[in-house]
Structures are given as structure tokens and as C-alpha cells.
């Protein structure tokens, strides 16, 4: 190779190196745009400044300390009951834990559960369903130190599924009771109890999965559901045991599980301690619960209900019915009001309001934050005692004839965009619904707006946008006064005479 060729080759190599350096330095940005609409996107490694270091040794030591402190405060409860016809089957999807181990043949039955010692003098908190129907002297408590003591039933509260027992003993290890209102989803909790009646003093760990859960297990109209949901493993026999936070405080009484098999599947539910404390104090002091009542029927506020009331988001709970002579009625609470808060604490589900009121007593004053006609204001309410029998709320509307604009021969009217057909109110439906005015739902088209909002045939629409409906044309005028996308608030009565509000949204035309 001659000298000129060598020089040329070296030159080419230098040019290649320089080009490579320029090319690499030019790749600081990556073009990911489409042809004709290119966009420069710079991809950089993001530092995670929010990393949380977990000291596993300290966490483990914390679990150990809590288990040692709380395990002696949790007892086993064995209950002997008389055999009865039609006893409850506990193999439902939402499953009360006990009693377990029922004998198949006629005769006495025996079940087991758990309980939490709440005073050194021997008061024990457990579930009503663990001890209900117990024989006289049929409740035995098994302490952590292996002592077995006969327990007296102090009182029960089926509304919250709680009960208090008493054993004759002193200087018992009592649990520290925590503030369940401070619980947040994601917090560590321990469950302590006696699963299956023989795995005594079992401790499991998990997190708070949800707070304020309703699971549909109410045993009566006034049943209160405001459960703490957890994935700490709990099983039959844990009922009445302790749900404990990382401060070593009992924040809930374990009560139920969601299961298809009858055993643990990852979903357990506990009664919040703030509610349980109020019930326990009443039962210990007086033998019964003295619970304050507002005297309202309430329902959730969703996005459509919010829109119908001029709210920009779903919040609060809607008052469907105010009972005659109730505390709410005396204070001026009205049907259609939306309650935002109780004593400054926000409520966005009916069970949240129920739980807060359930901690109060007759004669207590509560402050309600109310929204009505676009205005927000406070109302002071003095709670009353619940009547022993449920009162029927009669309509105060006076019956009127249909307006003169209605064709007397027309018996029905269709609202195609809502999937709703209504007709004149018949005498039998009028009587059943206890409605003095309104129009009757004749048909509801499947999967229509009316169907999705829960309207059913023979419901009676008595109001629309707070206006009394006395004819088909009354309803037509209200609906036609709204444009697509608007929501209309209907007040509806069912065939049992129960009133509720239903918000329907006028569908937008499909383009």
C-alpha cells in the first residue's frame, strides 16, 4: 500500500470517529412523533424521592410486643343453647362466625366464639350472635391462663350485633381501646381470637382494606353497618375477638367474613371500637342501649342526584323521608335536604351518618350541615328516643283533580328518552302506596335510564323537582323543561308506602 492510500485510509477513519461522536451526542432526545406531526420527547430517569425504608426487624419486634400484650385480653367463649326449629344457617356468603360445631341430632347445641376483656373487674365485649339463645348458665369463658369461668349475660344490642358478659374475677388483663376514627386504609392490624374453638390465642396480621363498609347483614330496619374491612386471617370462632392497631389498641370487634366456603378467603369485617364503646357503656351502666335517633330515612347521593340538586360532585346523604314527630322534623329538616356533615364530620354514605348518630343518646344535641335550594347552613337537632314501633309516615298532600289540559281519554304517557311509561293513578295502587297524588309507573324499558335508576312498575311519582305531581301533564311539563344532560329529581313511593328520591338524567341525543 502506497503512502497516499495510507493517508486516505487514516483520514476516513478520523472522519468516521468524528461523525460517530456527533451522532451519539445528538441522541439526547428521541423522536417518537408521527410523520408530519413530530414531537420531541425527552426521556430521563426519575429519582424516587418518596421511597420509604421499612425496618423489618423493628416491624417484627412490634408485632411480637403487641401479641404478647393483647393475647391475654382475648378470651374464648363457649355457648350452650337449646335446639330449636329453623335455626340460622351460617353458611351464607356474608357469614357470621359462630356458633361453630353444631350437633346434627336434636338436643342441646354448643358453639364457640371469642371476646375481649374491657375492664379488670371482668366485663367482656363480644358479639350478640355468639351468645344469643344461650341457656341459663350456658355461657363459659376460657381465659388465656386456662381458667374457665361461667359468665353472666349483662345485655345485648342486636342492632349493632354486640353483647357484654361479666365474669366474677379481679385484676384481669384489660385491653386498651383505641380510636377507630383514626384508621386509614393500608394500616397494619392484627386479629386475635380462637378460630374453630380450639386454635386458642391465634394472632394473624393484615391491613385495613376499607373503612365504612356495608355488607347487607342488617337484622332489622335499624341495623347499623359501618364495618372495618381487613385481610387479616379470621375464621369461624374469631367472632367477638380483637382487631388491633400498631399501638396495641383494640380498634374493632371481629364479626363476619365474606366467604363461599365458610372459611377465610381474605375478607373480614369488624365493628368499629368507637361505636362498640358507646354500646358497651350503656349495657354495663343500664342493661340496655339508649340510642338517639334523628327520625329520617336516608339514601346515597350519586353523580345524577348531585346534578339534579345543583352540586358539582356527589357528596352527603339525601333525606328521603322525615318521620312525623321526629327530632329531625322538630328541627326543621325537610325531605330532599342533603346532609353534608354531623358535628363537622363529613358523611357521604348512609351508614356513616347512622354510625355517628348511633354513638349519641336521647337528649344529645348534634349539628347537621345541610344543603337545600343551593344554600349550605347548619341545623341544631336534639335527638329523641326511638319509638318501640315503627311509625308510618303518611303523606300530607291533599288530593286534587287532574289539570284541565289533560285529555280525559288518555290514560298513559310515554317518555321514550327515559324508557318510562306512566299512567293515571289507580285506586288500589294509591291506597297501597299511601299516596294522595301522583302518577303511576306503568312500564319501564329494560336497561333504559329509568330502569338503571331503579324505577319499577307501580311506583308512584308524587313530585318532580319539588313540585307536586297531580296529573300526567304535570310530569310532562317538568321533564320537558329540562334539556338533554340535565337531571330531574323525582320523589317516588313504592307499594309499601316507603318514599325515596330518584334522579333521572335526560339522555343526550346520539350523533
Summarised one tens digit per residue, pLDDT across range 230-284 is 999 888 888 999 999 999 999 999 988 887 877 778 888 999 999 999 999 999 9
Catalytic residue among 112, 239, 355, 448: 239
Where in the chain are all domains bearing CATH 2.40.10.120? 59-285
Where in the chain are all domains bearing CATH 2.30.42.10? 292-385, 412-505
User: What's the pLDDT score for residue 46?
Assistant: 56
Could you tell me the sign of the dihedral formed by the alpha carbons of 175, 179, 185, 187, in that order? negative
User: What's the pLDDT score for residue 272?
Assistant: 93
Active site residue 95: no
Which grid cell is 398? Answer: 291533599
User: What's the pLDDT score for residue 119?
Assistant: 95
Query: In terms of Cα–Cα distance, which of 182, 229, 188, 230 is closest to 59?
Result: 188
Catalytic residue among 129, 209, 226, 355: 129
Q: Rounded CA gap, 467 and 460, in Å?
A: 14
Q: Rounded CA gap, 176 and 431, in Å?
A: 55
Question: What residue ranges of the chain have pLDDT lower than 70?
Answer: 1-39, 42-54, 83-108, 216-223, 387-410, 509-511
Active site residue 58: no
292-385 has which fold? Pdz3 Domain (2.30.42)
Is 59-285 a domain of CATH 2.40.10.120?
yes
Which residue's C-alpha cell is 367482656? 124
Question: Which distant-in-sequence residues (6+ apart) come within 8 Å of 284 by Cβ?
Answer: 123, 154, 155, 164
Furthest-apart CA atoms within the chain: distance in Å: 118
- List b or e across 473-498, with b for residues whose CB sees 16 or more CB atoms inside 10 angstroms: bbbbebbeebeeeebbbbbbbeeebe
User: What's the pLDDT score for residue 86?
Assistant: 37
- Residue 306 has phi, psi (to 5 degrees) of -60, -45
DSSP, collapsed to helix, strand or coil, labels residue 358 as helix
CATH number (2.30.42.10, 3.40.50.170, 3.30.460.80, 3.20.20.70) of 412-505 reads 2.30.42.10
- Residue 356 has phi, psi (to 5 degrees) of -65, -45
Query: In terms of Cα–Cα distance, which of 394, 390, 389 is closest to 433?
Result: 394
Which grid cell is 283? Answer: 349495657
Contact 116, 252 (CB under 8 A): no
CB atoms within 10 A of CB 428: 10
Active site residue 231: no
Which secondary-structure segment (H or E) carries 5?
helix 3-25
Catalytic residue among 161, 226, 337, 474: 161
Which secondary-structure segment (H or E) carries 285?
helix 273-286
Which residue's C-alpha cell is 310530569? 475
Nearest-5° angle of CA 295, CA 300, CA 304? 135
User: What's the pLDDT score for residue 40?
Assistant: 74
Which grid cell is 157? Answer: 344490642
Amino acid at each position: 500500500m502506497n503512502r497516499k492510500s495510507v493517508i486516505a485510509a487514516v483520514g476516513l477513519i478520523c472522519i468516521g470517529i468524528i461523525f460517530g461522536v456527533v451522532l451519539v451526542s445528538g441522541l439526547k432526545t428521541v423522536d417518537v412523533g408521527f410523520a408530519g406531526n413530530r414531537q420531541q420527547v425527552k426521556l430521563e430517569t426519575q429519582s424516587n424521592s418518596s421511597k420509604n425504608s421499612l425496618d423489618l426487624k423493628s416491624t417484627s419486634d412490634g408485632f411480637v410486643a403487641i401479641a404478647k400484650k393483647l393475647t391475654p385480653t382475648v378470651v374464648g367463649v363457649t355457648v350452650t343453647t337449646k335446639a330449636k326449629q329453623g335455626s340460622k344457617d351460617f353458611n351464607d356468603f356474608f357469614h357470621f362466625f359462630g356458633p361453630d360445631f353444631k350437633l346434627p341430632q336434636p338436643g342441646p347445641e354448643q358453639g364457640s366464639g371469642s371476646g375481649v376483656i374491657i375492664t379488670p373487674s371482668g366485663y367482656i365485649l363480644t358479639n350478640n350472635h355468639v351468645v344469643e339463645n344461650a341457656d341459663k348458665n350456658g355461657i363459659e369463658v376460657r381465659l388465656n391462663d386456662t381458667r374457665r369461668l361461667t359468665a353472666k349475660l349483662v345485655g345485648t344490642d342486636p342492632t349493632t350485633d354486640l353483647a357484654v358478659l361479666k365474669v366474677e374475677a379481679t385484676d384481669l388483663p384489660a385491653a386498651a381501646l383505641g380510636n377507630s376514627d383514626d384508621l386509614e386504609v393500608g394500616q397494619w392490624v392484627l386479629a386475635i381470637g380462637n378460630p374453630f374453638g380450639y386454635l386458642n390465642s391465634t394472632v394473624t396480621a393484615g391491613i385495613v382494606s376499607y373503612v365504612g363498609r356495608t355488607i347487607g347483614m342488617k337484622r332489622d330496619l335499624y341495623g347499623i353497618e359501618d364495618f372495618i374491612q381487613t385481610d387479616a386471617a379470621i375464621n369461624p370462632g374469631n367472632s367477638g375477638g380483637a382487631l388491633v392497631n400498631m399501638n396495641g389498641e383494640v380498634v374493632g370487634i371481629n364479626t363476619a367474613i365474606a366467604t363461599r366456603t365458610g372459611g377465610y378467603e381474605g375478607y373480614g369485617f369488624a365493628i368499629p371500637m368507637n361505636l362498640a364503646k358507646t354500646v358497651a357503656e350503656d349495657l354495663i351502666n343500664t342493661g340496655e342501649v339508649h340510642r338517639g335517633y334523628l327520625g329520617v330515612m336516608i339514601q346515597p347521593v350519586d353523580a345524577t342526584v348531585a346534578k339534579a340538586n345543583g352540586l358539582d360532585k356527589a357528596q352527603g346523604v339525601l333525606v328521603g323521608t322525615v318521620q312525623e314527630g321526629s327530632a329531625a322534623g322538630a328541627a326543621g329538616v325537610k325531605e330532599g335536604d342533603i346532609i353534608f356533615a354531623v358535628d363537622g364530620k363529613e358523611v357521604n354514605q348512609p351508614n356513616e351518618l347512622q354510625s355517628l348518630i348511633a354513638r349519641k343518646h336521647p337528649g344529645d344535641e348534634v349539628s347537621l350541615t345541610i344543603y337545600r335550594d343551593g344554600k349550605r347552613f347548619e341545623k341544631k337537632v336534639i335527638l329523641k328516643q326511638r319509638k318501640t314501633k315503627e311509625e308510618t309516615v303518611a303523606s300530607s298532600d291533599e288530593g286534587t283533580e287532574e289539570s284541565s289540559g289533560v285529555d280525559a281519554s288518555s290514560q298513559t304517557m310515554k317518555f321514550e328518552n327515559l324508557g318510562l311509561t306512566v299512567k293515571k293513578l289507580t285506586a288500589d295502587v294509591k291506597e297501597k302506596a299511601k299516596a294522595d297524588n301522583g302518577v303511576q309507573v306503568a312500564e319501564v324499558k329494560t336497561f333504559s335510564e329509568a330502569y338503571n335508576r331503579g324505577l319499577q312498575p307501580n311506583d308512584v311519582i308524587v313530585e318532580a323537582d319539588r313540585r307536586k305531581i297531580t296529573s300526567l301533564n304535570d310530569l310532562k311539563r317538568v321533564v320537558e323543561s329540562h334539556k338533554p344532560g340535565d337531571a330531574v329529581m323525582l320523589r317516588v313511593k313504592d307499594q309499601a308506602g316507603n318514599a325515596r328520591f330518584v334522579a333521572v338524567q335526560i339522555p343526550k341525543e346520539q350523533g
